[in-house]
């Protein structure tokens, strides 16, 4: 165990990552390491459609496998229907041991995220906050692995620094076109800015945009292009 600046003991590592105890503001300079902020590019042949017929097909096309990391944003708050649908599809495909790394966890009850932890679909959680049923379950000892929580500013920093690598980002949008340009500002279920997921859209190995309002190309104004 290590001791931080307020005398609290912390483990020396979490999920295989060595931890540095907090020693006070400005006492630990940032590591001299490359910033992993370059946007990943994939080939799309002109005329080729990016549209897929189902979540299961999108998950298969993303290359998601056991042990990888998935992310979501929480701009829809407790009205979010995407996380439950995606996790259900992943579970039905038999994929397990995922790191669940959303921008934050709100109280989603149908289906419960707790159920996917108990099934083994999720075995690690890294977020900017956990509320509701999942938060209570974590406090009661649901997780075998420690949960990592970061402020909203620290999450993008961790992704850029390569500390949190996103394999597949599932981004809900109130409007999107067939090329993946997306916004949260138009459509029947607007959620406002998609800012929480900007870092995911830029840094994830694969990005899946999910919408209930497909618009003609180009989707404007596009929050994510």
pLDDT tens figures, 152-162:
999 999 998 88
Alpha-carbon distances, residue 8 vs 22, 66, 81, 90, 141 (angstroms): 10, 35, 39, 39, 20
Map out the domains of the chain with their CATH numbers.
54-211 (3.40.1080.10)
Tokens representing residue 28 in the block: 């630990």
Q: What is the pLDDT of residue 107?
A: 84
Q: Where are any strands of DSSP class E within the chain?
A: 2-3, 9-10, 13-14, 17-18, 69-71, 98-100, 122-127, 148-149, 168-173, 175-176, 182-183, 206-211
Q: Is the per-residue pLDDT at 36 higher than 90?
A: no
Split at pLDDT 50, 70, 90, the class of 33 is low
Closest CA to 207 of 169, 174, 165: 169
Supply 35's token pair: 């910033």
Q: What is the pLDDT of residue 202?
A: 93
pLDDT at residue 34 in the model: 57
Instruction: Determine the average pLDDT of the residues in 32-38.
Output: 58
Supply the mean pLDDT for the chain: 91
* pLDDT number for residue 135: 92
Instruction: Please give the pLDDT value at position 31.
Output: 65
What is the C-alpha separation between 149 and 137, in angstroms, rounded? 15
On the question of pLDDT at 35 being above 70, the answer is no
Nearest-angstrom CA–CA distance, 83 and 41: 25
Spell out the residues 6+ positions from residue 39 whose beta carbon is closer than 8 angstroms to its own: 202, 203
Q: What pLDDT shows up at residue 21?
A: 86
Q: What is the pTM of this model?
A: 0.90
* pLDDT band at residue 38 under the 50/70/90 scheme: low
pLDDT of residue 77 exceeding 70, the answer is yes
């Amino acid at each position: 165990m290590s001791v931080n600046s307020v005398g609290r003991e912390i483990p020396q590592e979490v999920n295989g990552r060595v931890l540095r105890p907090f020693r006070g503001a400005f006492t630990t300079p940032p590591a001299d390491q490359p910033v992993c902020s370059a946007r990943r590019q994939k080939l799309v042949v002109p005329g080729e459609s990016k549209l897929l017929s189902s979540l299961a097909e999108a998950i298969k096309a993303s290359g998601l496998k056991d042990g990888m990391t998935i992310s979501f944003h929480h701009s829809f708050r407790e009205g979010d229907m995407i996380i439950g649908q995606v996790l259900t599809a992943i579970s039905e495909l038999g994929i397990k041991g995922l790191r669940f790394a959303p921008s934050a966890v709100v109280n989603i009850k149908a289906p419960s995220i707790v159920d996917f932890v108990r099934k083994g679909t999720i075995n690690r959680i890294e977020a900017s906050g956990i509320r509701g049923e999942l938060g209570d379950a974590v406090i009661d000892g649901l997780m075998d692995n420690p949960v990592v929580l970061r402020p909203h500013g620290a999450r993008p920093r961790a992704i850029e620094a390569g500390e949190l690598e996103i394999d597949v980002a599932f981004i809900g949008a109130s409007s999107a076109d067939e090329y993946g340009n997306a916004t949260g500002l138009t459509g029947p279920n607007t959620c406002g800015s998609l800012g929480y997921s900007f870092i995911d859209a830029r840094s994830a190995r694969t990005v899946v945009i999910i919408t209930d309002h497909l618009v003609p190309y180009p989707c404007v104004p596009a929050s994510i292009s």
